[in-house]
Amino acid sequence: MPRTDTPAPPRVRPPRPRPGIPVGLLLPAALGLVLLTLPLIGLLARTPWADLPRRLTEPGVLTALRLSLLTATLATLFCLLLGVPLAWLLARVRFPGRRLVRALVTVPLVLPPVVGGVALLLVFGRRGLLGGWLDATFGITLPFTTAGVVLAEAFVAMPFLVIAVEGALRGADQRYEEAAATLGAGRWTTFTHVTVPLVAPGLAAGAVLCWARALGEFGATITFAGNYPGRTQTMPLAVYLALETDLEAAVVLSLILLTVSVAILAALRDRWITSP
Protein backbone atom coordinates (compact mmCIF):
# COMPACT_ATOMS: atom_id res chain seq x y z
CA MET A 1 0.00 0.00 0.00
CA PRO A 2 1.27 3.52 -0.72
CA ARG A 3 2.58 5.39 2.22
CA THR A 4 0.36 8.24 3.25
CA ASP A 5 2.30 10.40 5.65
CA THR A 6 0.56 13.57 6.70
CA PRO A 7 2.72 16.55 7.66
CA ALA A 8 2.73 17.37 11.30
CA PRO A 9 0.78 20.47 12.19
CA PRO A 10 2.93 23.53 12.79
CA ARG A 11 3.81 24.21 16.34
CA VAL A 12 2.10 27.21 17.80
CA ARG A 13 4.33 29.02 20.19
CA PRO A 14 2.56 30.33 23.23
CA PRO A 15 2.63 34.12 23.50
CA ARG A 16 5.47 35.44 25.56
CA PRO A 17 4.32 37.00 28.77
CA ARG A 18 4.93 40.69 28.88
CA PRO A 19 6.96 41.89 31.80
CA GLY A 20 4.98 43.76 34.39
CA ILE A 21 5.57 47.35 35.38
CA PRO A 22 8.27 47.59 38.05
CA VAL A 23 6.70 49.11 41.10
CA GLY A 24 9.97 50.82 41.95
CA LEU A 25 9.82 52.82 38.72
CA LEU A 26 6.12 53.62 38.70
CA LEU A 27 6.19 56.17 41.54
CA PRO A 28 9.21 58.16 40.29
CA ALA A 29 7.71 58.19 36.77
CA ALA A 30 4.43 59.51 38.10
CA LEU A 31 6.21 62.18 40.14
CA GLY A 32 8.23 63.21 37.08
CA LEU A 33 5.05 63.55 35.05
CA VAL A 34 3.45 65.64 37.79
CA LEU A 35 6.53 67.85 37.97
CA LEU A 36 6.37 68.54 34.22
CA THR A 37 2.63 69.03 33.87
CA LEU A 38 1.58 70.66 37.15
CA PRO A 39 3.11 74.09 36.34
CA LEU A 40 1.33 74.06 32.99
CA ILE A 41 -1.94 73.21 34.69
CA GLY A 42 -1.32 76.02 37.13
CA LEU A 43 -0.79 78.44 34.25
CA LEU A 44 -4.04 77.38 32.60
CA ALA A 45 -5.90 77.58 35.91
CA ARG A 46 -4.75 81.16 36.55
CA THR A 47 -5.49 82.38 33.03
CA PRO A 48 -8.17 85.09 33.02
CA TRP A 49 -10.31 83.39 30.38
CA ALA A 50 -13.23 85.82 30.70
CA ASP A 51 -10.90 88.78 30.24
CA LEU A 52 -8.64 87.09 27.69
CA PRO A 53 -9.91 88.83 24.49
CA ARG A 54 -9.38 92.26 26.01
CA ARG A 55 -5.96 91.29 27.33
CA LEU A 56 -4.85 90.00 23.96
CA THR A 57 -5.75 93.29 22.27
CA GLU A 58 -3.88 95.53 24.71
CA PRO A 59 -1.25 97.69 22.96
CA GLY A 60 1.65 96.35 25.02
CA VAL A 61 0.73 92.72 24.32
CA LEU A 62 0.24 93.29 20.60
CA THR A 63 3.47 95.24 20.32
CA ALA A 64 5.49 92.54 22.08
CA LEU A 65 3.81 89.82 20.02
CA ARG A 66 4.40 91.63 16.74
CA LEU A 67 8.05 92.29 17.57
CA SER A 68 8.60 88.70 18.69
CA LEU A 69 7.14 87.26 15.50
CA LEU A 70 9.17 89.66 13.36
CA THR A 71 12.51 89.12 15.07
CA ALA A 72 12.07 85.34 15.33
CA THR A 73 11.28 85.14 11.61
CA LEU A 74 14.24 87.32 10.64
CA ALA A 75 16.53 85.34 12.92
CA THR A 76 15.35 82.09 11.33
CA LEU A 77 16.01 83.43 7.83
CA PHE A 78 19.46 84.54 8.96
CA CYS A 79 20.11 81.09 10.42
CA LEU A 80 18.97 79.42 7.19
CA LEU A 81 21.32 81.60 5.18
CA LEU A 82 24.35 80.71 7.31
CA GLY A 83 23.36 77.46 9.00
CA VAL A 84 22.49 75.31 5.99
CA PRO A 85 25.91 75.75 4.33
CA LEU A 86 27.55 75.12 7.72
CA ALA A 87 25.55 71.92 8.19
CA TRP A 88 26.47 70.77 4.67
CA LEU A 89 30.13 71.44 5.40
CA LEU A 90 30.03 69.40 8.60
CA ALA A 91 28.13 66.53 6.98
CA ARG A 92 29.85 66.20 3.61
CA VAL A 93 33.38 67.61 3.85
CA ARG A 94 36.24 66.04 5.78
CA PHE A 95 38.69 68.64 7.02
CA PRO A 96 41.07 68.97 9.95
CA GLY A 97 39.33 70.19 13.07
CA ARG A 98 35.82 69.16 11.99
CA ARG A 99 35.05 67.79 15.45
CA LEU A 100 36.16 71.05 17.02
CA VAL A 101 33.96 73.04 14.65
CA ARG A 102 30.99 70.81 15.45
CA ALA A 103 31.63 71.32 19.17
CA LEU A 104 31.80 75.09 18.72
CA VAL A 105 28.51 75.03 16.81
CA THR A 106 26.78 73.28 19.70
CA VAL A 107 28.25 75.52 22.43
CA PRO A 108 25.22 77.90 22.48
CA LEU A 109 23.05 74.89 23.42
CA VAL A 110 24.81 74.53 26.78
CA LEU A 111 26.04 78.08 27.26
CA PRO A 112 23.91 80.16 29.65
CA PRO A 113 22.05 82.68 27.47
CA VAL A 114 23.18 85.58 29.67
CA VAL A 115 26.80 84.61 29.03
CA GLY A 116 26.02 84.54 25.32
CA GLY A 117 24.62 88.06 25.59
CA VAL A 118 27.76 89.27 27.37
CA ALA A 119 29.90 87.65 24.67
CA LEU A 120 27.88 89.36 21.94
CA LEU A 121 28.23 92.67 23.75
CA LEU A 122 32.02 92.28 23.96
CA VAL A 123 32.21 91.61 20.23
CA PHE A 124 29.51 93.86 18.74
CA GLY A 125 29.32 96.58 21.38
CA ARG A 126 30.63 100.05 20.59
CA ARG A 127 33.89 99.15 22.30
CA GLY A 128 33.83 95.52 21.18
CA LEU A 129 36.13 93.68 18.83
CA LEU A 130 33.97 94.45 15.78
CA GLY A 131 31.39 96.88 17.11
CA GLY A 132 33.71 99.89 17.17
CA TRP A 133 34.77 99.26 13.57
CA LEU A 134 31.15 98.82 12.43
CA ASP A 135 30.15 102.05 14.13
CA ALA A 136 33.08 104.08 12.82
CA THR A 137 33.01 102.69 9.27
CA PHE A 138 29.34 102.10 8.50
CA GLY A 139 27.55 103.83 11.37
CA ILE A 140 26.00 100.48 12.42
CA THR A 141 25.17 100.03 16.10
CA LEU A 142 23.74 96.66 17.11
CA PRO A 143 23.35 96.68 20.92
CA PHE A 144 19.96 97.83 22.24
CA THR A 145 18.37 97.78 18.78
CA THR A 146 15.92 95.50 16.99
CA ALA A 147 18.79 94.22 14.87
CA GLY A 148 20.54 93.30 18.09
CA VAL A 149 17.50 91.24 19.09
CA VAL A 150 17.69 89.35 15.78
CA LEU A 151 21.42 88.73 16.25
CA ALA A 152 20.97 87.47 19.82
CA GLU A 153 18.13 85.14 18.81
CA ALA A 154 20.12 83.81 15.85
CA PHE A 155 23.11 83.11 18.10
CA VAL A 156 21.15 80.87 20.46
CA ALA A 157 18.86 79.29 17.83
CA MET A 158 21.21 78.42 14.99
CA PRO A 159 22.54 75.19 16.60
CA PHE A 160 19.05 73.68 16.43
CA LEU A 161 18.96 74.23 12.68
CA VAL A 162 22.51 73.04 12.06
CA ILE A 163 22.09 69.83 14.04
CA ALA A 164 18.79 68.97 12.35
CA VAL A 165 20.05 69.66 8.83
CA GLU A 166 23.36 67.87 9.40
CA GLY A 167 21.50 64.79 10.62
CA ALA A 168 19.24 64.88 7.57
CA LEU A 169 22.24 65.21 5.25
CA ARG A 170 23.99 62.27 6.87
CA GLY A 171 20.89 60.11 6.42
CA ALA A 172 20.22 61.14 2.81
CA ASP A 173 21.12 58.78 -0.03
CA GLN A 174 24.08 60.31 -1.84
CA ARG A 175 23.54 58.18 -4.95
CA TYR A 176 21.06 60.74 -6.25
CA GLU A 177 23.69 63.46 -5.99
CA GLU A 178 26.23 61.23 -7.70
CA ALA A 179 23.76 60.49 -10.49
CA ALA A 180 23.12 64.20 -10.99
CA ALA A 181 26.87 64.82 -11.16
CA THR A 182 27.34 62.10 -13.79
CA LEU A 183 24.59 63.73 -15.88
CA GLY A 184 26.55 66.95 -15.96
CA ALA A 185 24.90 68.94 -13.17
CA GLY A 186 27.16 71.41 -11.41
CA ARG A 187 27.69 71.48 -7.67
CA TRP A 188 25.30 74.36 -7.10
CA THR A 189 22.62 72.82 -9.32
CA THR A 190 23.01 69.49 -7.55
CA PHE A 191 22.73 71.19 -4.17
CA THR A 192 19.63 73.23 -5.00
CA HIS A 193 17.77 70.67 -7.14
CA VAL A 194 18.79 67.37 -5.51
CA THR A 195 20.27 67.82 -2.03
CA VAL A 196 17.80 70.37 -0.70
CA PRO A 197 14.69 68.39 -1.79
CA LEU A 198 16.22 65.24 -0.25
CA VAL A 199 16.63 66.88 3.16
CA ALA A 200 13.53 69.08 2.96
CA PRO A 201 11.75 67.41 5.92
CA GLY A 202 14.82 67.78 8.16
CA LEU A 203 15.36 71.33 6.92
CA ALA A 204 11.75 72.26 7.70
CA ALA A 205 11.93 70.67 11.14
CA GLY A 206 15.17 72.45 11.94
CA ALA A 207 13.77 75.78 10.77
CA VAL A 208 10.66 75.39 12.92
CA LEU A 209 12.72 74.45 15.98
CA CYS A 210 15.02 77.38 15.29
CA TRP A 211 12.06 79.74 15.03
CA ALA A 212 10.52 78.45 18.26
CA ARG A 213 13.82 78.81 20.12
CA ALA A 214 14.25 82.33 18.82
CA LEU A 215 10.70 83.20 19.85
CA GLY A 216 11.37 82.15 23.44
CA GLU A 217 14.83 83.67 23.81
CA PHE A 218 15.31 85.80 26.92
CA GLY A 219 18.78 85.90 28.50
CA ALA A 220 20.93 86.88 25.52
CA THR A 221 18.30 89.34 24.32
CA ILE A 222 17.95 91.30 27.55
CA THR A 223 21.73 91.37 28.03
CA PHE A 224 22.68 92.42 24.51
CA ALA A 225 19.60 94.33 23.32
CA GLY A 226 17.96 95.54 26.52
CA ASN A 227 14.26 95.77 27.29
CA TYR A 228 12.84 98.77 25.43
CA PRO A 229 9.10 98.58 24.60
CA GLY A 230 8.43 98.65 20.89
CA ARG A 231 12.10 98.23 19.98
CA THR A 232 13.63 95.30 21.85
CA GLN A 233 10.93 94.09 24.26
CA THR A 234 9.89 90.68 22.98
CA MET A 235 7.28 88.48 24.64
CA PRO A 236 9.63 86.74 27.11
CA LEU A 237 10.93 90.14 28.21
CA ALA A 238 7.38 91.47 28.46
CA VAL A 239 6.50 88.51 30.70
CA TYR A 240 9.45 89.34 32.95
CA LEU A 241 8.43 92.98 33.19
CA ALA A 242 4.72 92.23 33.67
CA LEU A 243 5.45 89.99 36.66
CA GLU A 244 6.36 93.10 38.62
CA THR A 245 3.30 95.16 37.68
CA ASP A 246 0.50 93.08 36.16
CA LEU A 247 0.37 89.35 36.87
CA GLU A 248 -2.58 88.72 34.55
CA ALA A 249 -0.71 90.26 31.61
CA ALA A 250 2.25 87.99 32.39
CA VAL A 251 -0.07 84.98 32.43
CA VAL A 252 -1.60 85.95 29.07
CA LEU A 253 1.82 86.37 27.44
CA SER A 254 2.97 83.08 28.95
CA LEU A 255 -0.13 81.39 27.58
CA ILE A 256 0.73 82.62 24.08
CA LEU A 257 4.23 81.18 24.34
CA LEU A 258 2.84 77.92 25.71
CA THR A 259 0.38 77.66 22.81
CA VAL A 260 3.16 78.19 20.30
CA SER A 261 5.33 75.55 21.98
CA VAL A 262 2.54 72.97 21.97
CA ALA A 263 1.76 73.72 18.33
CA ILE A 264 5.43 73.23 17.41
CA LEU A 265 5.61 69.89 19.21
CA ALA A 266 2.39 68.74 17.58
CA ALA A 267 3.65 69.69 14.13
CA LEU A 268 6.96 67.86 14.63
CA ARG A 269 5.59 64.82 16.44
CA ASP A 270 5.78 62.45 13.47
CA ARG A 271 9.39 63.34 12.85
CA TRP A 272 10.86 63.56 16.34
CA ILE A 273 8.66 61.25 18.40
CA THR A 274 8.18 57.66 17.33
CA SER A 275 5.52 55.43 18.80
CA PRO A 276 4.95 51.67 18.34
Q: Is residue 70 part of a domain?
A: yes
Q: Is residue 23 part of a domain?
A: no
CATH code of 265's domain: 1.10.3720.10
The pLDDT, as a whole number, for residue 181 is 80
- pLDDT single digits (tens) 185-239: 778 888 888 888 888 888 988 998 899 899 989 999 999 998 888 899 999 998 8
Number of domains making up the chain = 1
Low-confidence ranges of the chain (pLDDT < 50): 272-276
Q: Is residue 226 part of a domain?
A: yes
The pLDDT, as a whole number, for residue 275 is 40
Question: For residues 82 and 158, is the Cβ–Cβ distance under 8 A?
Answer: yes
Q: Is residue 222 part of a domain?
A: yes
Q: Is residue 32 part of a domain?
A: no
The pLDDT, as a whole number, for residue 82 is 94
Q: Is residue 177 part of a domain?
A: yes
Nearest CA to 74 out of 141, 149, 140 is that of 149
Segments in 111-199 forming alpha helices (H): 113-124, 131-138, 146-171, 175-182, 187-190, 196-198
Q: Is residue 51 part of a domain?
A: no
Q: Is residue 161 part of a domain?
A: yes
Which residue segment(s) compose the domain that 216 sits in?
61-271
The pLDDT, as a whole number, for residue 273 is 44
The pLDDT, as a whole number, for residue 250 is 85
